[in-house]
Amino acid sequence: MEEIDDRIWTEKYRAKKLNEIVGHERILKSLQIYVKEKKFPHLLFVGPAGTGKTSTAYAFTNELMGGRISQDSFLELNASDTNRIEDMRDKVKVFTTQHSVIPSEFKIILLDEADNISYDAQSALRRIMEAGNSRARFILLCNFSNRIIPPLLSRCAVFRFPRLPERYVVSKLKQIAEQERVKLPPEVFSQIHLLSRGDMRQAVTLLQVVADYLKEALLVGDPLFELAGYLPPSLLNNFLNHLRTKPFSDVKNAFLEVIAGKSSRNVLLQLMTLISGSKINNQSLATLIDDIACCDYYLTEGATERVQFAGLIAHLSEFFKV
């Protein structure tokens, strides 16, 4: 009887080798040279979530060590594990100074979310880099390089991972769907890319949800958007018309009701896309995009969601009211 592999698809289809990573050809070429020559500096992978930083780090380490990764040659830590000076000393420094079973083997320390490590802990990490084992190499993963202290940046080769273009995401999704024997309309793959915004991890997760819970006839359009936590296109298509023709209070109350439970960031991104495609002059467009940016900032700072969105709808109403 064939054993069922019930792992989540993001792990099941995670790349194991560098040649399985999609996109980022220039980065992969450099890393393949490092593997071949067995010489490389500390590395810093920068980019948005889901662009392949972690998968690339795993694949690189796996190939560098010939598929023989051991506990005394590889240490993976999250920012929450290393956010104090004591953590750096007790975990990272101890690991780098321990002898490996194979003396010539590299010791790889993978630090995820490095941009969330405190300034003091980053300073401690810099000292460990300076005084540590000559075979120890750090791979730092982060979303924002401006949160990494300059002394660390100067000690790393920086590789930037941009969001993945549609062709790479769609190709990977089709490959997974074929292996899972899931038949989907072709436009579903493009819509999943649109919703994931180049985040491969989110795209694969959404594909699995789609495959598990929806019938083919319901996959395209509104249900898919709602499943991903976005406002349905049909609602957005009517939103501007309602701003022009209906009382403000009615539009505001209806809009606040439909966004309840939705990601405020997703809603704002959809509104910005909607407004950018509307027929208003450039000055008005710039003003409204600035309003959306301010709303995003205040929500990030902890402002009340209903108040911020009500104010944003009021601004939109001023520009679109007949």
Position 283 scores a pLDDT of: 87
pLDDT digits (tens, 9 = 90+) for 11-27: 888 888 898 898 888 99
User: What letter would DSSP give residue 154?
Assistant: T
Six-digit token string for 203: 């795209």
pLDDT digits (tens, 9 = 90+) for 164-215: 888 999 999 999 989 888 888 888 888 888 888 888 998 998 888 888 775 4
pTM: 0.78
Residue 215 C-beta-side C-alpha neighbours within 13 Å: 2
H helices present in 142-182, as ranges: 150-153, 166-179
pLDDT, mean over the chain:
84
Position 150 scores a pLDDT of: 92
Position 218 scores a pLDDT of: 54
Instruction: Output 144 or 73, whichever has higher pLDDT.
Output: 144
List the end-to-end C-alpha distance of the chain, in Å, as a whole number: 67
Position 101 scores a pLDDT of: 62
H helices present in the chain, as ranges: 9-12, 25-37, 53-64, 85-87, 94-97, 119-131, 150-153, 166-179, 186-196, 200-213, 222-227, 233-245, 248-258, 264-276, 282-300, 305-320
Whether pLDDT at 219 is above 60:
no
Position 1 scores a pLDDT of: 44
Most confident option among 40-49, 100-109, 250-259: 40-49
pLDDT digits (tens, 9 = 90+) for 259-296: 888 888 888 988 888 888 877 888 888 999 999 999 99
CA distance 68 to 62: 7
Position 216 scores a pLDDT of: 47
Instruction: Output 228 or 18, whichever has higher pLDDT.
Output: 18
Please report, as a single letter, which amino acid is at residue 72.
D
Cβ pair 83, 179 in contact under 8 A: no
Whether pLDDT at 307 is above 90:
yes
Delineate the domains of the chain, giving CATH numbers in brackets: 9-160 (3.40.50.300), 166-227 (1.10.8), 233-320 (1.20.272.10)
Please report, as a single letter, which amino acid is at residue 197.
R
Please report which confidence band the pLDDT of residue 321 belongs to, taking 50, 70 and 90 as the band edges: low
With pLDDT > 90 as the criterion, what percentage of the chain qualifies? 24
Instruction: Output 307 or 85, whichever has higher pLDDT.
Output: 307
Please report which confidence band the pLDDT of residue 102 belongs to, taking 50, 70 and 90 as the band edges: low
Position 100 scores a pLDDT of: 64
Give the 3-state secondary structure of residue 142. strand
Cα distances (Å, whole numbers) of residue 269 to 76, 263, 298, 302: 34, 10, 15, 18
Position 132 scores a pLDDT of: 66
Position 59 scores a pLDDT of: 92
**CA-based max dimension of the chain:** 76
Contacts of 113 (CB under 8 A, 6+ apart): 78, 79, 80, 141, 142, 143
